[in-house]
Chain A
C-alpha cells in the first residue's frame, strides 16, 4: 500500500498533467483531448510512481519500459514527461508544429524518450511483448508496460499478442487498458463490443485485475500488483475503468471530444476545473 501522502502528491501531478494536456491542444489547434484525459492516472502511476522517472531515468539501461500504444493520447505522454522532468515544460507548446519533437503521434526518432512510434492502433502490445521477451531472455527483473485503448483492441493484432503472451507465459508483460467506453465513432457497444474483457483474457492465460482508473490509489495498487510476483507465471492485464475527457465536465464521457480542438474560452474553463 502506498502512503496517503504519496498518493496526494501523485494526484497533484495528475492535475498538472491534465492542465498541460488542455494547454497543449489549445496551442496546437487540434488533437485528442478525450482519450488523453482518461489515461492520466495510468501514466502518472507508471512514470511518477513505478518508474520514479526523473530526468535521468530514460538514460539508464536497467529499467522498465512503457509504450503508449494508443498513440493519439500523445499530449498526455508529453505532459507526463514534462511533469517528471524528462522534457522541458515550455516545449509542450510546440505540439504538432512543423519541426517539433512533439509529433501529433509519438515518434521515437524525434524524441528518443518515446519508446515506440505509435499511432496506427493495435501495434504497441506486440512491441511491448518483444521487449518483455527480451527481458526474459536476459533474465532482467523489469517489466514491459503497454497502455491500450478500448477502441484500439478492436484490432486483430492485439489478440494475436494476447494469445502469444498467454501461451508462452510472458510474465514480464503488463497490458493496461484505458477502458473509457468510447471510440472515435461512438460508444463501444455501438461499434464493436468486446466486453466482458476479464473472462476472455483469463481464458487466454492472463492474470487480470479491474479497478477505477481515475482513482489514483487504486491505479497505483494495481500497477504495484502487476509489477510483482503475486500474479504468478502469467502475463498481466489491468482493466482501468475510466471516463473519456475525465476532469473537465463539458468533455466528460462525450464521444465528440475524441478529436477536438480547445478554444481559449474552453481552455479557461477547463483549467479552472482541473486545477480547482
Chain B
C-alpha cells in the first residue's frame, strides 16, 4: 500500500497517506465514489484524487453542514460520497446533519475524520477530537472504525467501500509504526480484533494508532515480569461478539481499556455494553481522556501528560495488573 513517507522513521506510516493511496485505488475501481472536502483537501490527501478525477471532487469550503447534506443528495442519486475533514469539525459541527440527513435515512455515505484524538498536538483543543467516537457511536446505524496502523486502514478502506450504509473512520495524523501484517489481498477486510502482544497477567483493549504506545508499554513491562495480552480493536461499532470470549478466558483477572478518547462513549463503554449483554461480570480500568478537553503540546509529550503513553501508562497498567 503506501510508501513510507520521507519524514518518517523506517516502518512508520501516516494513515492519511494510506488513505490518499487507497482512494486512488478505490476511485479507479468504482466510478460512483466521489470526494467531498471542506477546504482541507491538502490535509486530507485528496488533492491527487482531485487532479485525476476533477469531475468527482467537490470542495464545499468551510461549510461542513452543507457538505454532509450534499453527500446525502449524492447518495440518494446512487453515488458513494467520501466526506473528509478534521474529526472535530465533522462530528461536532455537523452532528445533526449526520444523524438526520444520513443515518436516519440509512444512506451510503462514508465519513472520514482526520486528526482524531489529541495527537494533533500543538494546535490544541479546538482541533482535537476527544469525543468523535462517542458522537458517531451514539447515532443509530453508523459503523465506526479506528484503524490501528496503515495496514489496518487499508483493510478498513476495503471494508467501508463494500458496506452499504453509513460508516465513520477515525484517522490519526502523524506517521505511526506498522504493528499489523501487510494487506494480503485487495479485498481483505478488517479483523474483529487482533492480538498484538501475548501475556497472562492483564488483558488490555486498545484502538487507533495509540496501539503502538500500548505495545511499547507491554514490552517494557514484560521485562519486569508482567505479561500483558493486548488486543487491538479496529471496528468499535458493531463490536464483534467474539471479543466476549476473550474476556471469559481471562475470568478473575484485570481488564483495562486504553484509548485516545474520552472515557465516556468510547471503546470502554462499548466493551462494557458488550460484556453486560453477554452476562460477563467485569471491572474495567478506563485509561483514556478524563472529562476534559485536550490542550496544546508536542504530540508524544501530550500523550504522556494524559497518561496514555510512556512511563505514566506503564505505571497505570502495572497497578491494574497487580489489582
Q: Tell me the dominant secondary structure on chain A's binding face.
A: helix
Knowing A123-B69, A157-B69, the reply to whether A131 touches B76 (Cβ < 8 A) is yes
Give A186 Cβ to nearest chain B Cβ, in Å. 24
Knowing A127-B73, A134-B74, A135-B77, the reply to whether A116 touches B101 (Cβ < 8 A) is yes
Q: Which residue of chain A lies nearest to B75 when distances are taken between CB atoms in the complex?
A: A130
Once the chains bind, are A157 and B66 in contact (CB under 8 Å)? Answer: yes
Give A190 Cβ to nearest chain B Cβ, in Å. 25
Q: Which residue of chain A lies nearest to B101 when distances are taken between CB atoms in the complex?
A: A123
Once the chains bind, are B60 and A164 in contact (CB under 8 Å)? Answer: yes
**CB-CB contacts below 8 Å: B92-131 with A:** 96-97, 99-101, 104-106
**Can you list, as one digit per residue, whether each of B62-91 has a CB less than 8 Å from chain A (1) or not (0)?**
010111111111111111010000000000
Among B69, B74, B97, residue most surrounded by chain A Cβ atoms (within 10 Å): B69
Once the chains bind, are B69 and A161 in contact (CB under 8 Å)? Answer: yes
Once the chains bind, are A127 and B63 in contact (CB under 8 Å)? Answer: no
Task: Give every chain B residue within 8 A of A126 (Cβ-Cβ).
Answer: 65-70, 72-73, 97, 101
Count class of interface residues, chain B: 20 to 34
Among A129, A144, A157, residue most surrounded by chain B Cβ atoms (within 10 Å): A157
**CB-CB contacts below 8 Å: A118-166 with B:** 118-120, 122-135, 137-138, 144, 156-157, 160-161, 163-164
A129 to B100 CA separation, bound complex (whole angstroms): 16
Q: Does B61 contact A (CB under 8 A)?
A: yes
Q: Which residue of chain B lies nearest to A132 when distances are taken between CB atoms in the complex?
A: B73
Give B94 Cβ to nearest chain A Cβ, in Å. 9
Q: Does B58 contact A (CB under 8 A)?
A: yes
A124 to B97 CA separation, bound complex (whole angstroms): 10
Interface segment, one of A107-115, A214-222, A259-267:
A107-115
Other-chain residue from B61, B63, B74, B100 in contact with A130 (beta carbon distance below 8 A): B74
Give A138 Cβ to nearest chain B Cβ, in Å. 8
Give B73 Cβ to nearest chain A Cβ, in Å. 2
Q: Does A26 contact B (CB under 8 A)?
A: no
Q: Which residue of chain B lies nearest to A135 when distances are taken between CB atoms in the complex?
A: B77
Q: Does B55 contact A (CB under 8 A)?
A: yes
Give A159 Cβ to nearest chain B Cβ, in Å. 9
Once the chains bind, are A163 and B63 in contact (CB under 8 Å)? Answer: yes
Task: Give every chain A residue within 8 A of B56 (Cβ-Cβ).
Answer: 137
Task: Give every chain A residue within 8 A of B105 (Cβ-Cβ).
Answer: 107-109, 116-117
Among A118, A127, A137, residue most surrounded by chain B Cβ atoms (within 10 Å): A127
Chain B interface (Cβ within 8 Å of chain A)? 55-56, 58, 60-61, 63, 65-79, 81, 96-97, 99-101, 104-106
10 closest A-B pairs by beta carbon, nearest first, are: A130-B73, A126-B69, A134-B77, A160-B66, A130-B70, A160-B63, A157-B65, A131-B73, A127-B73, A120-B100
| 14 A-B interface contacts by CB (under 8 A) | A117-B100, A117-B105, A119-B100, A120-B99, A123-B69, A125-B69, A129-B73, A157-B65, A157-B66, A160-B63, A160-B65, A163-B63, A164-B60, A164-B70
Further contacts, 6 of them, CB under 8 A, given A130-B70, A137-B55: A126-B66, A129-B73, A130-B77, A131-B73, A137-B79, A161-B66
